[in-house]
Amino acid sequence: MTTMHQTRRDILKGGLAVAGLSMFGVPDWALPVLAQGETLVPFTDIPDNVRWEVPPDRRTLDLRTIDGPFTPKEKFATTQHYGHPDVDPATYKLKVTGLVNQTKSFSLDDLKKMGGKELIAGFECSGNRGPLNSLCGNGRWTGVPLKTVLDAAGVKTNAKEFVFFGADHGQEEIEWRTQKFTLEQNFGRSLPREKALSPEIFLAYALNGDPLTKHQGAPLRLLVPGYYGVCNVKWLQHIHLQEDAYLGRFQARWYRTLRGEMIDGEMMWKETSVTHMNLKSFIARVTKTGSQYKVMGVVLNDGTPIKSVEVKVDDGQWQMATMDPMTKEKYGWKFFAYNWTGATPGDHTLISRVTDVNGKVQPTAQENETKKSFLEENSQAPRKVKIA
Ligand SMILES: Nc1nc2c(c(=O)[nH]1)N[C@H]1C(S)=C(S)[C@@H](COP(=O)(O)O)O[C@H]1N2
Ligand SMILES: [Mo]
């Protein structure tokens, strides 16, 4: 509680002066920290054994502590497969090889000279799911567009697949028919040519104005805005351009979604690689000021503009929530708020759903039932609270 008040003061001191927004008739939830006299209504669905931090390298975001549009670096969720590699920024090089006119090697300074651009992007691990939805965040990243770097190397016309490797590596067992090979592999992900050369793909060296931390992939990481976390290769050290599809473990095997779809009256089972983020909203916290209850939540998607968010209490009607005017960036996460009137003592279930401008509605858990793996879990997610 104290830290939240602290944060509010810090934000106000820091000049993010949005406190005056109420002058323009915007509800004061626009600054999503606990105001004077505001208290958290307890969730009753948080597992007893929850661990927000698993040192040395894992951390999840407790949504109740969101205190502004950008997630501070020390709170940014972090996860990876091979632990944190040691990369010395002084000797660091980004190699660009394969189907380029000229093999290139860039130091961090070289990249900074080409950079200085900003990208605001929401972040979500494809394993992020309810009730806690704690593998997400929102960052203001500084760096250089990938295309600038690729243009410096010169992309050949037959380069179809762009593979991004981190400095982290491990022994992977690769099965082929009756054979098993154990081979050293670096973490790798790929993008098709058209996506890789689109202007928004980004190489970031800073988060919220500070150099990347080791957790966030220092000194350089890939960012594919609107795509799930796994696509954003940390400790990026090598980009390889090739003609053939890349089928590495984290591209083609681990980060796969198995989903049944009715096509022309028949169930088709599709296996797809995790790419763009699916339309999703979830409740972050419920607070109380006097007798007023407020529900605050988060929207994440692939950048398609949002039409509306609705909130439902128990078996009531869907009610329109208000979108936060401070969180409007195309790829950034967005906040919504709902004034919960008529809240009564006891246990309640709250749920939210978002609709985008194309009329796509966040699916119910039932509609997502033919999705067999837990990745890309974007169903409407209930939260349980108890009012004293
Ligand atoms: N090099 C490397 N990059 C990686 C990973 C990894 O294991 N190694 N994990 C990916 C996954 S699954 C996620 S969700 C994000 C996590 O990024 P964060 O720790 O900044 O939240 O990094 C992605 N990039
Ligand atoms: Mo992830």
- Could you tell me the CA-to-CA distances from 356 to 100, 153, 280 in Å, in that order? 39, 38, 10
Query: How many Å apart are CA 202 and CA 118, to the nearest integer?
Result: 9
Mutate to test the pocket of ligand 1, among 234, 239, 257, 277 (most ligand atoms within 8 A of CB): 234
- Could you tell me the CA-to-CA distances from 374 to 127, 256, 379 in Å, in that order? 7, 10, 11
**Structure tokens that stand for 309 in this block:** 């968010």
Which ligand 1 atom is at minimum distance from the Cα of 78?
19
The tens digit of pLDDT for each residue in 48-60 reads 999 999 999 999 9
Query: What single letter denotes the amino acid at residue 361?
Result: V
Query: How many Å apart are CA 107 and CA 87, to the nearest integer?
Result: 12
Query: How many Å apart are CA 65 and CA 120, to the nearest integer?
Result: 20
Query: How many Å apart are CA 154 and CA 59, to the nearest integer?
Result: 39
* Spatial CB neighbours of 89, under 8 Å, sequence gap ≥ 6: 108, 211, 218, 219
Identify the residues whose C-beta falls under 6 Å from ligand 1: 76-82, 125, 166, 168, 187, 215-216, 229-230, 232-235
Which ligand 1 atom is at minimum distance from the Cα of 85?
1
Which domains are present in the chain? 24-65+275-387 (2.60.40.650), 78-258 (3.90.420.10)
The tens digit of pLDDT for each residue in 183-238 reads 999 999 999 999 999 999 999 999 999 999 999 999 999 999 999 999 999 999 99
* CB-based contact 155:205 (threshold 8 Å): no
Residue nearest ligand 1's atom 15 by CA: 229
* CB-based contact 346:304 (threshold 8 Å): no
pTM more than 0.85: yes
The percent of the chain in helix, strand and coil, each rounded to the nearest 5, is: 15, 40, 45
**Closest ligand to residue 134's CA:** 1
Residue in 43, 61, 41 with CA at minimum distance from that of residue 51? 61
* Spatial CB neighbours of 179, under 8 Å, sequence gap ≥ 6: none
Query: How many Å apart are CA 75 and CA 61, to the nearest integer?
Result: 6
pLDDT of 252? 95
pLDDT of 194? 98
pLDDT of 175? 93
* CB-based contact 186:168 (threshold 8 Å): yes
Q: Compute how many other C-beta atoms are within 10 angstroms of the C-beta atom of residue 140.
A: 18
Provide mean pLDDT across the span 309-331. Answer: 97
Mutate to test the pocket of ligand 1, among 87, 230, 375 (most ligand atoms within 8 A of CB): 230
Query: What single letter denotes the amino acid at residue 367?
Result: E
Sheet holding 346-356, edge to edge: 319-320, 306-313, 346-356, 383-387
Query: How many Å apart are CA 378 and CA 351, to the nearest integer?
Result: 13
Exposure of 158 in the CB half-sphere (CA atoms within 13 A): 6
**Structure tokens that stand for 21 in this block:** 């927004």
pLDDT band for position 10 (50/70/90)?
very low
Provide mean pLDDT across the span 86-99. Answer: 97
Share of the chain above pLDDT 70, in %: 91
